[in-house]
Structure 1
């Protein structure tokens, strides 16, 4: 089956259903593009449209932002200038939060999506949160985190936990951080997390960060596709607590441990590898690859040697 996926640059790509892991046709792309709608898990279920069709507002202060972020109904919230948050701001369902140009910034605090459905967060710079930059929890569903710049949070940059599901994390730049992208918060939360925590990480730039890119518990399959890892401090991808992670066509540069199948006190997880590109990096760990479930959505990957140029040109703010 073929599905036409339009790109915002005006081009069109053919997305081929992946019948099992790694059977999609590979595209060699040299010009960065971005999508009008999410690829991967956030395209499944009810889909992810955010506040489309609702009211569009422009905010320039934390007070204005709070008025709309957790309001009922659909909103497209355009952020201009810096929103200085005192803590974690709750974001309700059916919202698009998008920075204008390169000016939209969130500092001092972050965003919490607690049980929220159908949320898009795009084109924002997050820095200096006293907690997380973005926290997704309590069965939040159909979330798209796209084209943001995230750094300098006290805890993590992007946490997904407590039964949340159907999420795509794409075209973001993560930097100046140790704990980066947690997926599943506790070894004791399997009853809520098994069968959920399905996330696609695609076209992200992990730039000199320390660990958790992502660090996965329970979920199967998690898709780590076409990301660029540069100068990673501890490890790239970790799979634990029986999770299944498909690490496909990424570029690892100066990363001593691209993948690990155990970390901390967690039980081991499973990893399947395909055609990753290694420069000055160690050997990725594979474990029980046959137990990693097939990717359930159509997609078309970039060839791994092109990933560095594609991602560095396209990731971060000001590209949408």
Structure 2
């Protein structure tokens, strides 16, 4: 991989990060909780830059939000206040959607990314969605979902499916919900999903949620790194339908089943665990770790026992 396109997943929380040409400087081991660009998969395939920072629109109403999100203009959409919407609002390519302050976002509906490219969603509150809070589908590529606070939706909080690819989900706080994050929507969709659905989940906080953190079909490899799981009802990470998932240096606290290799009616998947830290938590299930493909980017993970402090300090809104 060319140096100008590499990104490093980093090891500990601090106030700043020094990057040169998109590569962390030699010897740099720590980074802030607010990266200026995505790490992991969203940094590949040409990178994810979002909308133009020179064209900025601030919205305070549902109608203005819907118009700005669907516009063909490359732009940054600033969401001011908690805006009630109905249904799913479509997001066009080349958009950055960012909340103003720590309490701005949407309630009652969600965002739908379908067949688009190069979208950033940051610093938004999502509440009481009538369907998914964030739905990424239909071969959408290069998406960065970062520093959001999501709860109390009807279906998934962050669902990624139907051949979508090169996505990073980072520094989000998910709480008070059942089905958190689906990766691959159906057991019969292998023709579209195989070779795609490559996602990095890093520095997310799952708090009092029940299942799907994530629940994976077909994708290989999926990287679940340095996340904090607290008081999880059913299970943490599930790998099914021959997927390959690396669950690495996460912090599991009060989680009966940190990882499982089969759920529902799906065939089992492959799952490899590496140096996770557990407090009052059960045994991790693993299966055929050799079938989990190598992670295709450089990174330096944080030690599992440090992840709780890092994530609780940095995840959610108001931190960027």
* Partner of residue 57, structure 1: 57
Query: Is the Cα–Cα contact under 8 Å of residues 26 and 300 in structure 1 kept in the other structure?
Result: no
* Partner of residue 305, structure 1: 305
The C-alpha deviation readout for 1:275-309, integer Å capped at 9, x for no partner, is 00000000111110000000001222111110000
Give unmatched runs, 5+ long, in structure 1. 18-24
Query: Is the Cα–Cα contact under 8 Å of residues 26 and 303 in structure 1 kept in the other structure?
Result: no
Query: Is the Cα–Cα contact under 8 Å of residues 206 and 230 in structure 1 kept in the other structure?
Result: yes
Cα pair distance change 1:116/1:282, threshold 3 Å:
same
* Partner of residue 141, structure 2: 141
The answer on 1:11 being equivalent to 2:13 is no
- For normalisation by structure 1, the TM-score amounts to 0.92
* Partner of residue 224, structure 1: 224
* Partner of residue 260, structure 2: 260
Cα pair distance change 1:258/1:4, threshold 3 Å:
closer
Q: CA deviation at 1:33?
A: 2.5
Give unmatched runs, 5+ long, in structure 2. none
| CA distance in 2 between partners of 1:276 and 1:10 (Å) | 26
SS at 1:309's partner residue? helix
Query: Is the Cα–Cα contact under 8 Å of residues 14 and 32 in structure 2 kept in the other structure?
Result: no
| CA distance in 2 between partners of 1:206 and 1:128 (Å) | 17
Query: Is the Cα–Cα contact under 8 Å of residues 33 and 171 in structure 2 kept in the other structure?
Result: no
The answer on 1:48 being equivalent to 2:48 is yes
* Partner of residue 21, structure 1: none
| CA distance in 1 between partners of 2:89 and 2:217 (Å) | 26
Q: CA deviation at 1:26?
A: 11
Q: CA deviation at 1:55?
A: 1.0
* Partner of residue 187, structure 2: 187
Cα pair distance change 1:304/1:26, threshold 3 Å:
farther
Q: CA deviation at 1:53?
A: 4.4
* Partner of residue 282, structure 1: 282
| CA distance in 2 between partners of 1:312 and 1:142 (Å) | 26
The answer on 1:164 being equivalent to 2:164 is yes
* Partner of residue 154, structure 2: 154
For CA contacts below 8 A with separation 6 or more, give which structure has more relative contact order: 1
| CA distance in 2 between partners of 1:50 and 1:72 (Å) | 13
SS at 2:278's partner residue? strand
* Partner of residue 113, structure 2: 113
Cα RMSD of the aligned pairs, angstroms, is 2.2
| CA distance in 1 between partners of 2:278 and 2:129 (Å) | 33
* Partner of residue 22, structure 1: none
* Partner of residue 247, structure 1: 247
Q: CA deviation at 1:103?
A: 3.0
Cα pair distance change 1:137/1:93, threshold 3 Å:
same
